[in-house]
Amino acid sequence: MFQSKSNQQSFGQKLQFISILRIFSALLIFMCHAVQISGQPIIISTANFFSIGVQIFFVLSALCFGLQGDIKNPLKWYGKRIKRIYAPYEIFVLVLFIISSLKSKIYPAADWIKLILGVQGARIDILGAEHTWYISSLLICYVLTPLFSFAYGKLCTATKFKKALFAVFWAVLFIFSSFIPENAFHIIVPSFFFLIAYFCGRNYSHIKLNKQTAIISAVCLALFGVLRILLSLPLALPDMVYRLSTNISTFGIALSFVFLCAVIFKNFKSNKVIEFFDGISFEFYLYHMMFVFGPAYIHLFKHILPLRAFAIFIISIAAAALMNLVCKLFYTAINKFFRKDMKK
């Protein structure tokens, strides 16, 4: 399984299929939240299906990092990640604060500070920011990724026994994580699966994207899907078993789906439209909740869910495109400032 050879050559090619999946994941997350405004239990229940978009995002991030190969300079790597995430995120928090203030939505200063730092965890009481638990969880994965890279390098030359010992150790940690409080568990648990997806990325060049891989992925997708459906039934399961099983099935669905799509779209060629929507996918994720439940709540077509969801969707895309442009201008201004400062 463990190959020390970097996969830099295939990284650019695979990004094209990853782009279309990122867009699809953003749409799933949007639908997860949009159906919850219907007020109808049957429609709201479909949110469990659409929520898989978050896990697909985690898998795609881990695969991308794995495809990039060894992390030789962790500090430089952290700097790039912070630049990519924190600038759009902090601008979002600022916009949310301004709109909330204008709407007389007052929240404790401590909640805003936690939101600014990205340490809000799974419980967020600020309307329009409920979905940002993902940022807290993603930051944990970012912190751990250089360690994953180091572990991968060591495992490349390790004996089979040591590899098996590492797998057992990781599984035991995962099991024991189910005993921590639910809010903390919800934030920490993605990192366990992030490691698996990262290792898959490091070995991506050795995975044959053929009919056999597609069949295996489809079968795994079906099995994990059935498990997820069974877990949605009113079964008398211990809390620990339910927590672990739910996360295993959800991640299994996400990883299986990604590899199935990798085969289906292996010859996919990107275009300007795909690049545009992929480029604003993170901003779309950040801002859409502001219009679904947040202070910029959309009242259009209040009693016609499809039209209302479509209106929110269009407005969210416009906001994402605008704020993506703002971020680019911000980056340009910062770079110019530092260039002038260096010349002086």
pLDDT tens, position by position, 216-231: 999 999 999 999 989 8
Distances (CA, A) of 280 to 103, 253, 254: 26, 25, 22
| In a domain? residue 3 | no
69 φ/ψ angles, rounded to the nearest 5 degrees: 85, -155
Helices assigned H by DSSP within the chain: 8-34, 41-45, 47-50, 52-67, 74-102, 109-117, 133-156, 160-177, 182-188, 190-202, 211-231, 239-264, 272-279, 281-292, 305-343
Q: For residue 255, what pLDDT is reported?
A: 95
Decide if 169 contacts 192 (C-beta within 8 A): no
| In a domain? residue 78 | yes
Decide if 65 contacts 201 (C-beta within 8 A): yes
Q: For residue 3, what pLDDT is reported?
A: 44
| In a domain? residue 195 | yes
- Euclidean distance between CA atoms 149 and 153, whole angstroms: 6
| In a domain? residue 89 | yes
Q: For residue 251, what pLDDT is reported?
A: 95
- Nearest to 298, CA basis, from 284, 286, 312, 285: 312
Q: For residue 266, what pLDDT is reported?
A: 84
Q: What is the pLDDT along the chain (344 residues), one digit of tens a residue?
A: 444 444 444 444 556 788 899 999 999 999 999 888 877 888 888 888 898 999 999 999 999 999 988 998 999 999 888 888 888 999 999 999 999 999 888 899 999 999 998 888 777 889 899 899 999 999 999 999 999 999 999 998 899 999 999 999 999 999 998 888 888 888 899 999 999 999 999 988 888 888 999 999 999 999 999 999 898 888 888 888 888 999 999 999 999 999 999 999 888 887 889 989 999 999 999 999 999 988 888 877 777 778 888 999 999 999 999 999 998 888 888 777 766 554 55
Domain range for residue 23?
9-343
- Euclidean distance between CA atoms 216 and 214, whole angstroms: 6
| In a domain? residue 2 | no
Cα-to-chain-centroid distance, residue 44: 22
| In a domain? residue 152 | yes
| In a domain? residue 274 | yes
Domain count, the chain: 1
